Amino acid sequence: MRFPFIKIGPSLVRQGVKSQAAVLSANDRRLLQLCSLSAESSLPELDTSKDGLTGQQVEPARERYGFNALTRKEKKFFLFEIFERFKNPLAIQLLIIGGISYWMGDIRSTVVVGGMVFLSVILSYVQETRSSKAVEQLQKMVQANTLVIRNGKETEIPTVELVPGDLVVLHAGVMIPADLRLISAKDFFLSQSSLTGESMPIEKGVELAGPAPRNVIELPNACFQGSYVVSGAARGVAVNTGENTYLGSISAKLSGEKTQTSFDRGIQDFTWLMIRFMVVMVSCVFLIVGLTKGNWVEALLFAMSVAVGLTPEMLPMIITVNLSKGALMMSKKKVIVKRLSSIQNFGAIDILCTDKTGTITQDQIVLERFVDVTNRESDDVLRYAYMNSYYQTGLRNLLDRSILSHTELDVEKTCRKVDEIPFDFQRKRMSVIIEYEDAHVMITKGSVEDVYNSCGSYQLDDEVLPLIDVIKRDLMEEYERLSKTGYRVLAVAYKEFPRDKTTFGVQDEGDLILLGYLAFFDPPKDSAAKALAGLARMGVAIKILTGDNELVTQKICGDVGLDSTHVITGGELAGLDEAGVTAAAEKNTVFARLSPSQKEQIIAALQKAGHVVGYMGDGINDAPALNLADVGISVDTAVDVAKESADIILLEKSLMVLEDGIIEGRRVFGNIIKYIKMGASSNFGNMFSVVGGSYFLPFLPMAPIQILTNNLLYDFSQTGIPMDNVDPEYLLKPKKWNIGNIKKFMLYIGPMSSIFDYATYFLMLYFFGCIAYSAPGTSLAAKAHMENLFHTGWFVESLLTQTFIVYIIRTKKIPFLQSVPSLPMVFTTVVVLMIGVFLPYSHFADKLGFVPLPAAYWLWITGFMALYAVMTHKMKVWFYRKFGDD
Active site residues per annotation: 355
| Interatomic CA distance for residues 529 and 557, integer angstroms | 10
The residue among 464, 17, 392 whose CA lies nearest residue 197 is 17
| Interatomic CA distance for residues 62 and 43, integer angstroms | 18
Listing DSSP states for 747-776 in one string gives HHHHHHHHHHHHHHHHIIIIIS-GGGGGST
| Interatomic CA distance for residues 177 and 791, integer angstroms | 66
Asked if residue 519 lies in contact with residue 489, where contact means CB atoms within 8 angstroms, the answer is yes
Strand ranges inside 316-384, DSSP E? 335-337, 351-354, 366-371
| Interatomic CA distance for residues 442 and 424, integer angstroms | 17
| Interatomic CA distance for residues 244 and 241, integer angstroms | 6
Asked if residue 651 lies in contact with residue 336, where contact means CB atoms within 8 angstroms, the answer is yes
| Interatomic CA distance for residues 257 and 262, integer angstroms | 16
Neighbouring C-beta atoms of residue 466, cutoff 10 Å: 8
Question: Which residues fall within 8 angstroms of residue 215, CB to CB, at 6 or more apart?
Answer: 19, 20, 21
Neighbouring C-beta atoms of residue 379, cutoff 10 Å: 10
Listing DSSP states for 211-278 in one string gives SPPSSGGG-TTEE-BTBEEEEEEEEEEEEE-GGGSHHHHHHHHHTT--PPPHHHHHHHHHHHHHHHHH
| Interatomic CA distance for residues 94 and 317, integer angstroms | 15
| Interatomic CA distance for residues 245 and 795, integer angstroms | 61
| Interatomic CA distance for residues 503 and 500, integer angstroms | 9
> What is the C-alpha R_g of the chain?
34
| Interatomic CA distance for residues 735 and 730, integer angstroms | 9
The stretches of 730-886 forming alpha helices (DSSP H) are 739-762, 780-804, 806-809, 823-838, 845-848, 855-883
Question: Which residues fall within 8 angstroms of residue 446, CB to CB, at 6 or more apart?
Answer: 423, 427, 428, 429, 430, 490, 491
The residue among 677, 669, 823, 743 whose CA lies nearest residue 319 is 669
Asked if residue 640 lies in contact with residue 383, where contact means CB atoms within 8 angstroms, the answer is no
H helix or E strand, kind and range, residue 325: helix 315-332
Amino acid at 161: E
Residue 72, sorted as left (phi over 0), alpha (psi -120 to 50) or beta, turns out to be beta
Asked if residue 176 lies in contact with residue 229, where contact means CB atoms within 8 angstroms, the answer is yes
The stretches of 416-549 forming alpha helices (DSSP H) are 448-452, 469-484, 528-537
| Interatomic CA distance for residues 756 and 391, integer angstroms | 81
Listing DSSP states for 15-41 in one string gives TTPPP-SS---HHHHHHHHHHHS-HHH
Asked if residue 615 lies in contact with residue 625, where contact means CB atoms within 8 angstroms, the answer is yes
H helix or E strand, kind and range, residue 485: none
